[in-house]
Structure 1
Amino acid sequence: MRDILFRAKGIDDDDKDRWYEGFYIALNDTTYCIKEDYENHPDNTKHYIIFDQMTDWGLPNRHLQARINPDTLCQFTGIVAKDGRRIYEGDIVYMRCDGLSGYGTVEFDEGKFYINDTKRRRHYFLDNHSKYRIDGNIYDRKEEQNGKD
């Protein structure tokens, strides 16, 4: 069994560059009776990552929520890179196993996480036997590219 965790970037101006890790939840601000009301209020759903923060040894943790940008929402694959970091959907990773290597973006399809190696036109399914190195993610890379324009 694996932890079902998510990661996403904050949506507020002071934390747009901060990644939050924890449990994902989407909440509607209001429930409407009429379809037109939903059409008039398209931004009715708010997206959050719920996480805990240690206060001090032996004291209860703080349970916090961060409003997030749902376009950056990534699920934890259940696999950890060789440096101990969790591998999430959208991460750019290098993998090596038994003389085979690949490099690409972690994606999810048909119930499985895999590395999409577009250069070699191959897919490598993630497993606990391979060694992985994380080289960033598609969301931060987009921001870097946008900053160079």
Structure 2
Amino acid sequence: MEHGLVASILPEWNDVYQFILEPLPKMTSSDFQAYQAASIQAANSILRTAQDMLTKAHSNEEELVALAEKMSNDYQAFSSSVRGAIASTVPKVAASIETSAQALGHACLSLVKAAGIVQSSPNDNLGKKDLVDNSRIVSDKVSAF
């Protein structure tokens, strides 16, 4: 169940998932390097935002809404770069990138939902544990990318 103001950004996530799957015209392999670098930069931004969520969950829960919105924006930037990378590489690599990108998206969505629970119930220790666990999963997915 989504809680608090974080719930208002959740509908965007379905659009972002679908955005990754929208085809682009085939590009050259030299384009792949640029898209890959941009994807990694965006993934690192996602990681920093996840870490910021951990800090704020224990000190300033009201800032979780802004961080959830930032996570959404970070993932949108990531998905744009991933689309380019998918379109500029061979099908086997593209499928691997797509799978990893979607796994990261699911992890980010779970983290945003956990942030919503903490934001609306700051004294919920299970909610904070869920946020910590989901932050770790986001970190794992970024590392795997």
Instruction: Please indicate the TM-score interval, normalised by the length of the shorter structure.
Output: under 0.3
- Specify which structure has the bigger relative contact order, considering alpha-carbon pairs within 8 angstroms and separated by 6 or more residues: 2
- Which structure has more helix as a fraction of its residues? 2
Bigger CA radius of gyration = 1
- Which structure has more strand as a fraction of its residues? 1
